[in-house]
Amino acid sequence: MFRRLVVSFLSASVLLGGCPAPSRSWEEKGHVLINGHAIDSLPEPLRGFFSTHRSTMEKRSQDPDYWKLDDEEERRYHYIDIDALRPYPFTDFPLDYEAATRAFGRLRLREEGELPWRIEEYFDILVQDFENGQWEDAAYTAAILGHYVADLHQPLHTTKNYDGDLTGNKGVHSRFEGNLLDRLGDLTLSVSSAVYVEDPVASTLEVVRSGYPLIRTILQADSEAGRAASGDEERYLGILEQKLRPLVEKRLSEASSFLGSLIYSAWSLAEKPNPPSSPSE
């Protein structure tokens, strides 16, 4: 634990409400952006279909967060504290769920989170929707899949230090994905064309691996902004914006691209069926 940060960071933690891990990741703004921009990564005829269902993709992007209010079990699907299970870079992390339960025990795995396999579950549902010609269901499933993909790209959803308790950054979770995201205003996302994903779970691990070093970047920026702001909330957020805007835009862009690739891959596995000629919301 880096306890030397506790005293210097205390002013920002108190100022912005050091609190337990929040109920949402990326907040509404981030989820809407990720799902909406994923449509732009798709080839035709998928892009045309999902464009007419953009409101479903965006409006239903937060549904899993509301599920948590009624179902405590839902929470474990929104994160994976992978560094509580294996050290970075997680090269020997088991990808198969049953193999993971044998390695860590089912109860421990549930405690540390099951996000990669939740993404696999909804990916498989999306394949089935396409195979069965259930295009309206596919739009909804893709929106839900997008929520979990967004969670995966939030670096603080992949660590036991998710709220900064271990480094004197208590409350950083909500400051990063809530206060900062609100402060950033318009964001510039750059989305890549969808590509075929051979193994969704293996790809989720690559996402976690690429994002894990960003945890330190976020915590360091949070600490430096807290010290420099000396209790001034506006100044704190201004410093954080300067330090982290590129990181946020890049991570949101990557989430949109990955979601688009998962949608495209599910459609490809279903042998690329044609969407309805005149889909409607």
pLDDT digits (tens, 9 = 90+) for 77-116: 999 999 999 999 999 999 999 999 999 999 999 999 999 9
pLDDT value at residue 183: 94
| pLDDT tens column, 188-211 | 999 999 999 999 999 999 999 999
| CA–CA distances in Å: residue 66 to residues 2, 108, 196, 207, 209 | 35, 24, 31, 25, 28
pLDDT value at residue 278: 56
Domain contains 275: no
Range of the domain at 54: 4-269
pLDDT value at residue 191: 98
Dihedral of alpha carbons 10, 13, 17, 22, sign:
negative
The domain tally of the chain equals 1
- Domain with residue 209: its CATH number is 1.10.575.10
**In sequence order, what DSSP letters do the residues of 166-224 get, joined into one string?**
TTT-TTHHHIIIIIHHHHH-S-----PPP---S-HHHHHHHHHHHHHHHHHHHHHHHHH
pLDDT value at residue 106: 97
Q: Give residues with Cβ within 8 angstroms of 108, minimum separation 6.
A: 85
pLDDT value at residue 277: 79
Query: pTM for the full model?
Result: 0.90
Intervals of the chain under pLDDT 50 = 1-23, 279
pLDDT value at residue 279: 46
Domain contains 280: no
